[in-house]
Structure 1
């Protein structure tokens, strides 16, 4: 695997280690919205678990078959993640699940050929990202997910700093 690909997958795996920083969050902060109208830390972690699961169970198999990638409607999909976080799942269980799911995803990505990772495919029928004009591929989606991780990590870090 070329170093660029390896760097992207390694950057994606960093989230799993970062989760260790959340193990000692006080229960009151774990379930408290990070801002008015926003999710809690637990809901954000559940949200990322659900997206990792979708990549693992739907996107990668579809890519391996040479089919396009299909992403669900965001709001109902994200609501399921929020509901799961509020279902009584413990902080330690949710963090463990998040690490396991991301590690499964990283292992799967590492098994894929460069050709599979970079093959141009559609995302919900669209060939190119409307923001960048870049052709969609699995590796492009992984890079998007890294940005998604960073967005939520920054939110959590800011919230925790404000709360101390």
Structure 2
């Protein structure tokens, strides 16, 4: 398996985690994970919103050879939180999140290796300001893997504080 397929496979592992989260008690679903933090549902919705953005905007830009533009993070994240708080069941949100990630993974697998590894500009910048690495779609996917892991650990810590049976 090439590096690009390995990265996309790691990105798809979030789907397995979502299936585990389906099992948590619904009473924990809407509680903030800590004081001043999002709930589990808001975290799932947040990641789902980014997955949908990657599908509709980023993959489209990549396919057309255009620059990638990310929205202002705080207002975008607020929209995701509002969407989740406006209703819908735990099962429905999990289903939406699984569909979004599944569709995104499929779209990534369909791209040629050269497209995945081609340097791109993100919001007018060619290199990540934190690492100095050139932006590529694969690099961005790796950043989102780290983002997923950050939020997964938050959720798991919150759940295990309340329920020692979660693994």
TM-score (norm 2): 0.95
What is the CA-CA distance between 1:88 and the residue it aligns to?
1.1
Q: Classify the secondary structure of the residue corresponding to 2:88.
A: coil
2:98 counterpart residue number: 99
Q: Distance in 2 between matches of 1:145 and 1:43?
A: 17
Cα-Cα RMSD? 0.8
Residue 17 of structure 1: aligned partner: 16
Runs of 4+ in structure 1 displaced over 6 angstroms?
none
**1:89 and 1:123 mapped to 2: Cα distance?**
33
Measured in 2, the distance between the counterparts of 1:46 and 1:68 equals: 26
Q: What is the distance in 2 between the residues matched to 1:107 and 1:113?
A: 12
Compute the displacement of 1:26 (Å). 1.5
> Once the 2 structures are TM-superposed, how far is the Cα of residue 21 of structure 1 from its aligned partner?
1.0
What is the TM-score normalised by the length of structure 1? 0.97
Separation (CA, whole Å) in 1 of partners of 2:61 and 2:3 = 23
Distance 1:114 1:144 in 2: 18
* Partner in structure 1 of residue 122 of structure 2: 123
**Does 2:67 correspond to 1:76?**
no
Report the Cα distance in structure 1 between the residues aligned to 2:135 and 2:63, rounded to whole angstroms.
15
Q: Partner residue of 1:146? A: 145
Structure 1 residue 137 displacement after superposition:
0.9
> d(CA) in 2 for partners of 1:31 and 1:4?
38
